[in-house]
C-alpha cells in the first residue's frame, strides 16, 4: 500500500501566488526571495567540462563513472574529515531532492514504519515518508519519542545546516543521533547540502560537522547516508548534480532499485561534477557573494525592526517580528514592499511566526530590497 495520490498536498509555493501578484505590483517590481534558486552564472569550470563531454551517445551507468566516485571520495577525505568513504559507497543522483523524496521507498519502507524528520523542516521529508506509505514524525528531541513508536523508526533524517533556519548540529549531537538510531536498527540520512555556507563561529572556521566524518560515527558508516549537491555551492541547480554517500551496503541496495527505474545522471553532468570538486576556488567566490548579500540584508531587516534568528549557516535568513506575529502577516507586509518571502508555516507548525528569506537575489535586487526596508 503506497501513497494515495488523491491526498497529495498542495504544492506550498502555489499558496504564495496572491502575494507574488501583490509584490509584482510594486512600482520597483518584484524581488523574489521566496525560493532559494541560484541567480549567479554557473562557473566556467563546470560549463567547460559539460561542453567537453557533450558527445555522450551511450547510456551512463547508474553508479556513475569511476572518476566521479573517486572525486567524491577525495572530497570527503580532504574537506569533510571522512576518510571511510569508498567508491562503492557513492551514488550520483539527479539533485538531492529526488533522493529526499524517494529514499523511504527505495529502502523498502511502508505501512507501520516511522520516518523521523526535524520538526521545522523542508516539506519533502514528510512527503517522502507518505509516498512510501510510512508515517512521518516531525521531532525536536529523539528522547521524547515514546518507546512503542521508537521501535518502529526505520529512518531518521538529519538536516545540517538546516533549511529553513540555518542551525548546525555539532559533533556531540550527530554522535547521539547515530547511537540512538543504531540501537533501534534505523538508518540515519543527513541532508548536508548547505555545508559550504557557514557564517557563524565555530562553523565558519572549523567547517560544518559531517555525519560521515570518522569522529562522528566511530569510523563505522554502517546504516549512515549523507546527501550533497552542487546546486548552491556551485550555482548549478540546473545541472541536477548531486550524490548520496555512506554505507556501501545501503548504496548497493539503492543502486539496484535505481537501475530498474532508469535513474542515472547524464554523462556530461558527471564530468561537470568531477571538474567542480577539483576547483574549490569557485566555491569560495560564490560563498563570498552570498556572505556580502547576507550582511547587507541582515542589517536592513534589523534596522526595519525585524529579528533575524539562527541563520548561522545556509542560504536563508530566518526572520520574525518583535511581537512574533503570524508569518502570513509578515509575508503580506513584505509583499507590499515588493519583496516576496516564504512563510515559516511551509516548514511545520513550529515555523508559524517566522518567514524564510533567501540570499539568492542578485546584488542589484539585494540593494533594492535593503532600500525598500529602510525605516
Hey, CA dihedral for 271, 273, 279, 283, is it positive or negative?
positive
- Phi and psi of 358, rounded to 5°? -80, 150
The three grid cell numbers given for residue 203, joined into one nine-digit string: 562553523
Alpha-carbon dihedral 256, 258, 260, 261, rounded to 10 degrees: 170
| Band (12; pLDDT cuts 50, 70, 90) | confident
**CA 311 from centre of chain:** 14
Dist. CA 333–CA 331, nearest whole Å:
6
> What pLDDT does residue 140 have?
87
pLDDT tens profile 123-162: 999 999 999 999 999 998 999 999 999 999 999 999 999 9
Predicted confidence (pLDDT) at residue 190 exceeds the cutoff of 60:
yes
Contact 235, 272 (CB under 8 A): no
The kind and range of the H/E element at 91 are strand 90-94
SS3 content of the chain, % helix, strand, coil (to 5): 45, 15, 40
CB 195 within 8 A of CB 80: yes
In the chain, the domains with their CATH numbers are 5-41+282-373 (3.90.1150.10), 56-279 (3.40.640.10)
Task: Give me the residue label for grid cell 501583490.
Answer: 22
**Amino acid 1: pLDDT:** 41
* pLDDT mean over 15-36: 95
What is the rounded distance in angstroms from the CA atom of residue 290 to the CA atom of residue 44? Answer: 18
Dump pLDDT digits (tens) for 60-77.
999 999 999 999 999 999
Q: What is the CA radius of gyration of the chain?
A: 20
Q: What is the pTM of this model?
A: 0.93
At residue 5 the predicted structure's pLDDT band, cuts being 50, 70 and 90, is low
Sign of CA dihedral 264, 229, 79, 215: negative
Closest CA to 161 of 214, 230, 109, 209: 209
Reading the block at residue 284, the C-alpha cell is 569560495
Q: Which three cell numbers stand for residue 147?
A: 518507546
What mean pLDDT do residues 33-58 have? 96
Amino acid at each position: 500500500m503506497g501513497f494515495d495520490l488523491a491526498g497529495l498536498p498542495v504544492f506550498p509555493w502555489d499558496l504564495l501566488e496572491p502575494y507574488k501578484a501583490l509584490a509584482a505590483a510594486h512600482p520597483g517590481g518584484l524581488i523574489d526571495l521566496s525560493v532559494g534558486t541560484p541567480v549567479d552564472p554557473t562557473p566556467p569550470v563546470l560549463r567547460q567540462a559539460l561542453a567537453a563531454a557533450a558527445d555522450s551517445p551511450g547510456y551512463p551507468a547508474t553508479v556513475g563513472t569511476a572518476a566521479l566516485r573517486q572525486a567524491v571520495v577525495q572530497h570527503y577525505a580532504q574537506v569533510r574529515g571522512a576518510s571511510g568513504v569508498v567508491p562503492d559507497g557513492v551514488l550520483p543522483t539527479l539533485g538531492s531532492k529526488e533522493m529526499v523524496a524517494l529514499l523511504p521507498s527505495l529502502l523498502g519502507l511502508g505501512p507501520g514504519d516511522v520516518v523521523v524528520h526535524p520538526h521545522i523542516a523542508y516539506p519533502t521529508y514528510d512527503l517522502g515518508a507518505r509516498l512510501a506509505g510510512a508515517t512521518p514524525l516531525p521531532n525536536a528531541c529523539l528522547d521524547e519519542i515514546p518507546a512503542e513508536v521508537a521501535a518502529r523508526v526505520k529512518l531518521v533524517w538529519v538536516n545540517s545546516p538546516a533549511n529553513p533556519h540555518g542551525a548546525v548540529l555539532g559533533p556531540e549531537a550527530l554522535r547521539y543521533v547515530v547511537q540512538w538510531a543504531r540501537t533501534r536498527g534505523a538508518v540515519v540520512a543527513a541532508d548536508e547540502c548547505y555545508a559550504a555556507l557557514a557564517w557563524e563561529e565555530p562553523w565558519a572556521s572549523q567547517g560544518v560537522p559531517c555525519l560521515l566524518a570518522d569522529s562522528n560515527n566511530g569510523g563505522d558508516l554502517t546504516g549512515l547516508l549523507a546527501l550533497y549537491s552542487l546546486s548552491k555551492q556551485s550555482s548549478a541547480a540546473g545541472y541536477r548534480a548531486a550524490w548520496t554517500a555512506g554505507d556501501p551496503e545501503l548504496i548497493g541496495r539503492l543502486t539496484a532499485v535505481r537501475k530498474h527505474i532508469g535513474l542515472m545522471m547524464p554523462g556530461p553532468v558527471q564530468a561537470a561534477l568531477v571538474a567542480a570538486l577539483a576547483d574549490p576556488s569557485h566555491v569560495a567566490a560564490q560563498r563570498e557573494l552570498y556572505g556580502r548579500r547576507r550582511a547587507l540584508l541582515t542589517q536592513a531587516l534589523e534596522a526595519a525592526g525585524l529579528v533575524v534568528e539562527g541563520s548561522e549557516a545556509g542560504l536563508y535568513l530566518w526572520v520574525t517580528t518583535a511581537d512574533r506575529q503570524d508569518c502570513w502577516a509578515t509575508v503580506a507586509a513584505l509583499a507590499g514592499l515588493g519583496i516576496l518571502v516564504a512563510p515559516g508555516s511551509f516548514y511545520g507548525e513550529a515555523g508559524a511566526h517566522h518567514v524564510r528569506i533567501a540570499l539568492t537575489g542578485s546584488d542589484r535586487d539585494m540593494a533594492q530590497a535593503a532600500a525598500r526596508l529602510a525605516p
